């Protein structure tokens, strides 16, 4: 049995040796037919390949740590279209190369909802890339030549789903805006983008100041876009411990 397992490994079988040996031993003891043995061996190998593929895609996705969806407090926001979000979890928007905008003030769960969309996409076999907008643009701007920038752009153009988090918190210069426009244009009607932001479209100009590409960028992104607005108090602010009570001297200074 050991020799057979070693031979299977040499021809490229990726299943763990212990699992293969256990299957072969079971097949021998139960007098399993060759056909059934081959079917179970193939199923074992496919499970191992799927697990390795998911591990590789998960590592490349860089989703980070986040709260699972079953812990999301749907009753906290004053406004959120839960039904629309649950429809997004079907991932039809990826199949149709549509975009998603998660919009609301800081600390209301936009990133968590975006990351859970990314996780669902990974589980369904898609490739995913998650990054804050600032980190993605800084990564591209660090490249020292046009060929290097073109190679690095593939990191943000190639995945089935690109998630860009936190648009609106840090201003971007014209070159950064041009890079984002390039990403959006390359993915337009081909692959999906999820963006989280605290700003309506009309205020994106406060982030991309003097960027001539801003209008076309928004037009392309918004053309086939599911917008989910969240109105709520920040989770972090709500759960923060109360500050110390002011002393008598502090109250005097305030007067």
Q: Give backbone dihedrals phi and psi of 18, rounded to 5 degrees, phi first.
A: -60, -40
**Cα–Cα nearest to 228, from 145, 132, 123, 104:** 104
Q: Give me the pLDDT at residue 80, please.
A: 94
**Cα–Cα nearest to 54, from 141, 131, 127:** 127
Q: Give me the pLDDT at residue 134, please.
A: 95
Taking the model in full, what pTM does it have? 0.79
**Cα–Cα nearest to 229, from 108, 103, 114, 74:** 103
Cβ atoms < 10 Å from Cβ of 23: 19
Surface-to-core class of residue 134, CB atoms within 10 Å of its CB (0-12 exposed, 13-18 middle, 19+ buried): middle
Q: How confident is the model at residue 243 (pLDDT cuts 50, 70, 90)?
A: low
Q: Give me the pLDDT at residue 247, please.
A: 57
**Cα–Cα nearest to 114, from 88, 140, 153, 80:** 88
Lowest average pLDDT, out of 9-18, 118-127, 142-151, 184-193, goes to 9-18
Q: How confident is the model at residue 250 (pLDDT cuts 50, 70, 90)?
A: low
Q: Give me the pLDDT at residue 18, please.
A: 78
Q: What is the mean pLDDT of residues 179-196?
A: 97
Cβ atoms < 10 Å from Cβ of 232: 17
**Look-up: residue for tokens 């007098």?**
31
- The ranges assigned to domains in the chain are 2-54, 69-239
Q: Is the separation of the CB atoms in 59 and 128 below 8 Å?
A: no
Q: Give me the pLDDT at residue 242, please.
A: 55
Write the DSSP string, the chain: -HHHHHHHHHTT--S-HHHHHHHHHHHHHTT--HHHHHHHHHHHHHHHHHHHHHHHHHHHHT--S---GGG--TTS-SB--HHHHHHHTTTHHHHTT-EEEEE-STTSSHHHHHHHHHHHHHHTT--EEEEEHHHHHHHHHT-SSHHHHHHHHHHHHSSSEEEEEEETSS-B-HHHHHHHHHHHHHHTTTSEEEEEESS-GGGGGGTBTT-TTHHHHHHHHHHTEEEEE-B---HHHHHSPPPPPPPHHHHHHH-
Q: Give me the pLDDT at residue 16, please.
A: 77
**Residue partners of 37: CB distance under 8 A and separation at least 6:** 23, 24, 27
- Average per-residue pLDDT for the chain: 88
Does pLDDT of 1 surpass 70? no
**Third-level CATH fold of 69-239:** Rossmann fold (3.40.50)
Provide the sign of the torsion angle of the four alpha carbons 191, 194, 197, 199, taken in this order. positive
């Amino acid at each position: 049995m050991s020799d057979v397992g070693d031979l299977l490994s040499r021809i490229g079988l990726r299943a763990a040796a212990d699992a293969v040996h256990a299957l072969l031993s079971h097949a021998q003891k139960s007098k399993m037919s060759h056909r059934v043995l081959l079917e179970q061996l193939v199923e074992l190998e496919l499970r191992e390949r799927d697990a390795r593929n998911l591990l590789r895609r998960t590592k490349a996705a860089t989703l980070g740590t986040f709260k699972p969806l079953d812990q999301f407090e749907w009753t906290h926001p004053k406004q959120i279209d839960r039904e629309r979000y649950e429809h997004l979890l079907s991932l039809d928007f990826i199949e149709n190369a549509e975009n998603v905008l998660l919009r609301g003030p800081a600390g209301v769960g936009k990133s968590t909802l975006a990351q859970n969309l990314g996780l669902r996409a990974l589980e369904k076999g898609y490739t995913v890339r998650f990054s804050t907008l600032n980190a993605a643009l800084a990564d591209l701007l660090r490249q020292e030549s046009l060929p290097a920038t073109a190679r690095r752009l593939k990191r943000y153009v190639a995945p089935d789903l690109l998630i860009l988090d936190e648009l609106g918190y840090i201003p971007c210069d014209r070159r950064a805006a041009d890079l984002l426009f390039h990403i959006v244009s390359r993915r337009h009607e081909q692959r999906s983008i999820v963006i989280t932001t605290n700003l309506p479209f009309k205020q994106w100009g406060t982030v991309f100041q003097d960027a001539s590409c801003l209008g076309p960028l928004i037009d392309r992104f918004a053309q086939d876009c599911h917008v989910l607005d969240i109105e709520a108090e920040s989770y972090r602010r709500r759960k923060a411990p109360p500050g110390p009570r002011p002393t008598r001297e502090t109250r005097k200074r305030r007067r």
